[in-house]
Amino acid sequence: MDLKALIFDVDGTLADTERDGHRVAFNLAFADAGLDWNWDVGLYGELLQTSGGKERMRRYLEDVRQAHKYKDADTLIPALHAAKNRLYSEMLKQGKISLRPGVRRFLLEARGAGLRLAIATTTSRVNVVALLKQTLQTDAPSWFEVIATADEVPDKKPSPAVYEYVLKAMQLDSTQCLAFEDSENGLLAAQRAGIKTIITVNDYTRNGDYSDALLVVSDFGEPGQPFEILDGQAAKFITAQDGHVTVDLLRKLQRIEQQ
């Protein structure tokens, strides 16, 4: 089938939001609440194996802290998460978080080519909208036909639920779409929904197992600043001349899949 839509994860895929964005905002929220919790870079990398900010806090309580000391956890965790989101939005407004290489270029190209765009993420809608407005332009959320977040789909990746939600909302077959992810959980979620996936790794996810992905690259790449080809079922068909993610490259990958 012809390629009709692109579905994007957000955190770690469109922008390096995790280490210097969400992690910092979590720590600020903890400090403001008078808690002595601190998520350093290494610990946060381990916590990222659990999808969802509230879920990470609960895992932290269970695995690191003595959870029984926080009998108000069901109230505390949502309050901390809301505070963290406010702090994260402030960081965005201050320009402290930027898009990954090639993302802006590729989104504009895909829109110009008439491809339908969607988002499938486990973060909250307020974070997604704030990121798009601050790093692209104020109307950027409208570029995406569907924005599926933790607010609409509570089941977190690797559950395929958020991708299934997008497919249903767009009335598309999985073979008409490509997904962009940065993590093993994201890859599993897209695959379980039947969607071929391109992985753009970051410092936290570089060492994951992505052998089942269509293509694994360092980033989206830019003309003159090519991506690094790391793995993937179609990697052997990609040449140095390709260099960066483009609509033509995606159509090339789809043709390879159909052979």
Whole-number Å distance between alpha carbons of 200 and 227: 9
Residues in the chain, total: 259
Nearest to 140 by CA among 178, 167, 110: 110
Q: Which amino acid is at 66?
A: Q
Catalytic (active-site) positions: 9, 11
Structure tokens at 67: 């959870």
Q: Which residue has the tokens 């903890």?
A: 30
Whole-number Å distance between alpha carbons of 177 and 162: 14
Strand pairing category for 229-231 and 146-148:
unpaired
